Chains A and B, each alone.
Chain A
């Protein structure tokens, strides 16, 4: 049951998207999201769709992985589509009953909105599929580093360190939770049956030992970090330097052209 939890969905492949600097990727993804929202008409959105699919293909991540992510939000998608169906009363009336009427304008709007969400999910999945959690953390740290000029110097480093340690300990803690569950089952604990309240109660003897051992781990880790000369990131350097390459240049050119086209299409039509 716990083994199903996967953290970070990195998909190993060799593609220009994988090679792109994670900092650039994060910024470009944010740009993409903005432009998908800015696309006001069918032409602009069609262009966005083409651009998103171009990036998907370029990433060499199998399409079924992206579709899997859609499955998780099918309800939101469905809900958006249905709500928007009744939102517009432009165009010809196709269906009329009681006070509700469905128009061509409504159908158009419903497809438009749903497609926007699909594109948003796809483009953000590209980021997580092509970037390791570690480089994501590092990129976030670098991108947030200007915050140190407004007195948040330690906050950024602390946040990044927390992310790194969390990523490191999630598999360890999952393993430990499984061990404790098995130990409690061996003593006759029933975790699968009973009412919701009973099952929640049955979790307590698992959570408490897990919590206690985590505190103990944290204490030992702190000592070990101290022994490795950690003093809160003061004067710390990095072995792996993030470097921008020509791939990043192409990516930036791509996004600028894309932006220009979206804006033009929005104005023309």
Chain B
């Protein structure tokens, strides 16, 4: 099986003061094993609802979600789904359970009923993987937001999931903390080949992704490689998203008649591209 998550004709409705809202509208989506997918969308676009359906926290109103071939509707296999797809949320403070870092990371494996020595190994490995091994015995409330969020990630990867779904994990962090998290995720994806689904509204976080999805009003309106998706500056702006500043610059230059390739995203590539077009003229 190539896909870790398969979403088939899924809609999600909720009732709020007697009116029915549709947060997710008839979505079909497959997440490839080992891929790094970013889902972009502004508040209320249905991206969080979709994320919570990926590990059975939300059950679809219509359609089915399969994780590794298991339907998330089955009550009996709920734990199986959750140990395959781990989830990290926005506020790191509200995800940590214990007041000592390593005990918190051990929480998931302990719930799985593993042997103490196995838990010990997994905790040490997980803390090392997020670069927090030296803080094993600290208390979470003395750490920075980015560090706390890395502990939350360690707590999930200690369960050795195949896929990591993160719902705006950087929204409450400062730029430094945000960078830490994205670097950690990119490393986990490359080195441990953990599938990553990152939900965010910061476009620059999608730079190195394999695939970018843009959601608006419960629907997927764009799907492709970051360089392709970011080309569509007008569409992205119309749904309240900001394209990366580099793309915007190239886009503006192109409109003024310069021959530049607007698919460059990183600052280095953009600079090269601009230099090239100047020397040409």
Give A residues with C-beta under 8 Å from B: 133-134, 164-165, 167-168, 171-172, 175, 217, 220-221, 223-231, 235-241
CB distance from B41 to the nearest CB of A (A): 20
B134 neighbours in A (Cβ, 8 Å)? none
B218 neighbours in A (Cβ, 8 Å)? none
B98 neighbours in A (Cβ, 8 Å)? 134, 164, 168
A134 neighbours in B (Cβ, 8 Å)? 98-100, 103
Which stretch, B83-91, B224-232, B240-248, touches the partner chain A? B83-91
CB distance from B260 to the nearest CB of A (A): 44
Partner of B94, one of A171, A224, A226: A224
Nearest 6 A/B pairs, CB to CB: A220-B94, A239-B106, A224-B95, A228-B108, A239-B119, A171-B141
B97 neighbours in A (Cβ, 8 Å)? 164-165, 168, 221, 224-225, 228
Quick one: closest B residue to A224, CB to CB?
B95
By the criterion CB–CB under 8 Å, are B119 and A229 in contact? no
- Report B126-148 residues with CB < 8 Å from chain A CB: 139-141
CB distance from B111 to the nearest CB of A (A): 4
Partner of A229, one of B83, B99, B116, B141: B83
Interface centre among A165, A224, A230 (most CB of B within 10 A): A224
Q: A217-B94, A220-B94 are in contact. Are A228 and B159 (CB under 8 A)?
A: yes
In angstroms, Cα B57 to Cα A239, docked, is 27
CB distance from A166 to the nearest CB of B (A): 10
| B79 CB-CB contact with A under 8 Å | yes
By the criterion CB–CB under 8 Å, are B94 and A221 in contact? yes
Partner of B141, one of A175, A221, A237: A175
Partner of B110, one of A133, A224, A227, A238: A238
| B156 CB-CB contact with A under 8 Å | yes
By the criterion CB–CB under 8 Å, are B115 and A168 in contact? no
Quick one: closest B residue to A138, CB to CB?
B103
By the criterion CB–CB under 8 Å, are A220 and B91 in contact? yes
Q: A134-B103, A239-B119 are in contact. Are A229 and B93 (CB under 8 A)?
A: no
By the criterion CB–CB under 8 Å, are A220 and B111 in contact? no
By the criterion CB–CB under 8 Å, are B93 and A172 in contact? yes
By the criterion CB–CB under 8 Å, are A231 and B79 in contact? yes
By the criterion CB–CB under 8 Å, are A221 and B111 in contact? no
Partner of A237, one of B93, B113, B123, B152: B113
The 19 listed contacts between A and B (C-beta, < 8 Å) are: A133-B99, A134-B99, A134-B103, A164-B97, A165-B97, A167-B99, A168-B97, A168-B140, A217-B91, A220-B89, A224-B152, A228-B111, A228-B156, A230-B107, A231-B79, A236-B113, A238-B119, A239-B123, A240-B103
In angstroms, Cα B97 to Cα A69, docked, is 30
In angstroms, Cα B103 to Cα A174, docked, is 22
In angstroms, Cα B74 to Cα A164, docked, is 31
Partner of B95, one of A164, A171, A221: A221
Partner of B89, one of A133, A172, A223, A231: A223
By the criterion CB–CB under 8 Å, are B96 and A229 in contact? no
Q: A133-B99, A220-B91, A226-B57 are in contact. Are A237 and B86 (CB under 8 A)?
A: no
By the criterion CB–CB under 8 Å, are A168 and B114 in contact? no
CB distance from A116 to the nearest CB of B (A): 35
A236 neighbours in B (Cβ, 8 Å)? 110-111, 113
B87 neighbours in A (Cβ, 8 Å)? 224, 227
